[in-house]
């Protein structure tokens, strides 16, 4: 790798598997030190051990992290400060794929979607801001979805929560810019990506391969995305190559939003 992220210190939520694990690997491979966090603490720890064995003992650390908990955020950020010396990249990747229609979505279901997908991003950005200010140039990368831009029937909580992440990212970007801070904030909008969360979109399908095939048929490129392809976009947003990009949305959707 080219070392595009040498000297960067990053925190990636939801890093025990899927897109989060791929992002953590890509950041470490480009020279960043990474704190992997996840509600599945052991899963995050296993990913960190693997990365450290491959890239060096200081490459990755981990902690258990409920992203809806302010106390857990405070603890994770304190670890970033003590173990890595600060934070220059925040990747709010953790999320859940909850579907439902207007009639079938309960308030409990609605609040759960917003707690994990939206409140966590607000908490992370708010609480990490002092560390990011101390490590400028810095970058906040919030994982939204193409479903936050293009709605679909039966995905009301997911559509609404991911749209909130999109607009929150723009607002944070403008706040940072107008405050004179060199802190960028952008959102990433994948379409279907081959991770376990896909099964939430077609719960009636019993076979993951069948789910991947049928969802891929809806994409102009005729396939679903790979976690590594989303991670490549995050690497760009984390790097100084993107210092003139803020308040923007990076669509990695195989062409879905083009037509």
Residue position matching structure tokens 């609404």: 160
Question: Torsion over CA of 232, 234, 238 and 241, rounded to 10 degrees?
Answer: 50
CB atoms within 10 A of CB 6: 12
To 5 degrees, how large is the angle CA 182–CA 35–CA 95?
Answer: 85
Among 55, 158, 192, 201, the active-site one is 158
Task: Clarify whether 236 is annotated catalytic.
Answer: no
The dihedral sign for the CA sequence 27, 71, 81, 124: positive
41: closest CA among 23, 66, 70?
66
Q: Which residues participate in catalysis according to the annotation?
A: 158
């Amino acid at each position: 790798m080219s070392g595009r992220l040498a000297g960067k210190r990053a925190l990636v939520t939801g890093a025990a598997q899927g897109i989060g694990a791929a992002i953590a690997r890509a950041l470490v491979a480009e020279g960043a030190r990474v704190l992997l966090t996840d509600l599945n603490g052991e899963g995050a720890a296993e990913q960190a051990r693997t990365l450290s064995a491959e890239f060096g003992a200081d490459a990755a650390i981990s902690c258990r992290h409920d992203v809806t908990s302010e106390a857990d955020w405070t603890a994770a950020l304190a670890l970033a400060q003590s173990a890595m010396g600060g934070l220059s990249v925040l990747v709010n990747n953790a999320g859940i794929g909850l579907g439902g229609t207007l009639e079938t979505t309960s308030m409990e279901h609605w609040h759960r979607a917003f707690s994990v997908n939206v409140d966590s991003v607000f908490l992370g950005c708010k609480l990490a801001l002092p560390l990011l200010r101390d490590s400028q140039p810095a970058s906040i990368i919030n994982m939204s979805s193409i479903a936050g831009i293009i709605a679909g029937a039966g995905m009301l909580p997911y559509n609404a929560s991911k749209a909130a992440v999109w607009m929150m990212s723009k607002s944070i970007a403008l706040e940072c810019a107008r405050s004179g801070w060199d802190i960028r904030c952008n959102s990433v909008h994948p379409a279907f990506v081959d991770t376990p969360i896909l099964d939430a979109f077609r719960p009636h399908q019993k076979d993951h391969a069948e789910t991947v095939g049928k969802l891929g048929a809806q994409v102009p490129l005729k396939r679903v995305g790979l976690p590594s392809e989303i991670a490549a976009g995050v690497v760009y947003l984390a790097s100084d190559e993107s210092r003139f990009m803020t308040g923007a949305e990076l669509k990695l959707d195989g062409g879905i939003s083009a037509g």
